[in-house]
Amino acid sequence: MNSSKQFFHNNIMIIATLFFAGAFIAGKFSIAEFPIPSLTFFRFGIAGLILFIVLILQKRTLSIPKKDIPVVFLLSLLGMVGYHLFFFAALKHTSTINTSLIAATNPVFTTIFASIFLKDKINARTILGVSFSFVGVLFLITNGNISVFENMSFNIGDLLMLCAILCFSSYFIILKNVLTRINPFTLTAYVFIFCAIILLPFVIYENPFSYLPNVTSKGWGSLLYMSIFSSVIAYLIQQISVQRIGPVKTSLYINLVPVFSMFLAYFILGEQITYHKIIATIIILTGVFVTIKSKIK
């Protein structure tokens, strides 16, 4: 494999993080028109349906080993249902700053879990890269104003966000072993469908007929974006990335999400980009670069 192809395969998560960042913008529009469980249900239900249609058209196998059904169900419960429900619930009880700060610990927890459960050897360069990226995210969120920490207080929302991150970090660790037995495309389809099945009782309780007729084209457009780009494409890339470069390096790319969100917010929502944010972007990119060059999967 030549160097350009190798670079693309090692950094394919950049595309996924761009689509994940777009979900933050789309979410601002869709969350105003859908209840949280229903929004998650429709997002991953539509995404799962799309993936199964593609699998059928490509005449790929639609089955997974029966022995793996419980672990695939667990992946869906942790990475799709658990993360999104805890995340959206946290936003109702805590500040965006607190939520973002806790979210930035995802690579840290993933690195620790990989060391404990996967017996991955964490070298100094990996620790340095994760630390750089974490500091960059803190700098981005606080705009370089350290005094923000003096006024911080922790509440139930922070605990909910911590639960969300623990769910997603656990999802990454379990995912690596499952991908040795199940094709990423098929696995992603089942994870999405299981998510929809788990949430179906909540959707029925919310009575979708009471709000669906009032959903605007902007709401449906935002939902379809999250289903196709932020779910089908982004999560599929994420599965492939975990398979190729491992959960630790893959999780670190998630710290690029606030960077891409910043630029998307500038072009779509008209939010300003300060020099603090530019410095933070450089620090985050340095952390990601250092870590992907380390010898760890």
For residue range 180-236, list pLDDT tens digits in order: 889 888 999 999 999 999 999 999 999 999 999 999 999 999 999 999 999 999 999
How many angstroms separate the CA atoms of 255 and 93, rounded?
23
pLDDT, mean of residues 84-95: 77
| Residue 74's pLDDT band (cuts 50, 70, 90) | very high
Q: Exposed/middle/buried for 267, CB within 10 Å: 0-12, 13-18, 19+?
A: exposed
pLDDT, mean of residues 132-137: 74
Give how far Cα 281 sits from Cα of 4, 49, 127, 284, Å.
Answer: 24, 36, 19, 5
Give the chain's mean pLDDT.
Answer: 82
Torsion of CA 60, 66, 71, 75, to 10 degrees: 30
pLDDT, mean of residues 156-171: 87
Tens digits of per-residue pLDDT, 222-277? 999 999 999 999 999 988 888 888 887 888 787 787 778 778 877 877 767 777 77
Give how far Cα 119 sits from Cα of 65, 112, 113, 210, 243, Å.
Answer: 26, 10, 9, 50, 16
Asked if residue 284 has pLDDT above 90, the reply is no
Reading phi first (left if > 0) and then psi (alpha if -120 to 50, else beta), residue 183 is in beta
Q: What are phi and psi of 61, to 5 degrees?
A: -65, 135
Residues 6+ apart with CB under 8 A from 166: 109
Model confidence, pTM: 0.79
* Residue listed under structure tokens 């995340």: 87
Q: Is the dihedral of CA 220, 226, 229, 235 positive or negative?
A: negative
pLDDT attached to residue 68: 92
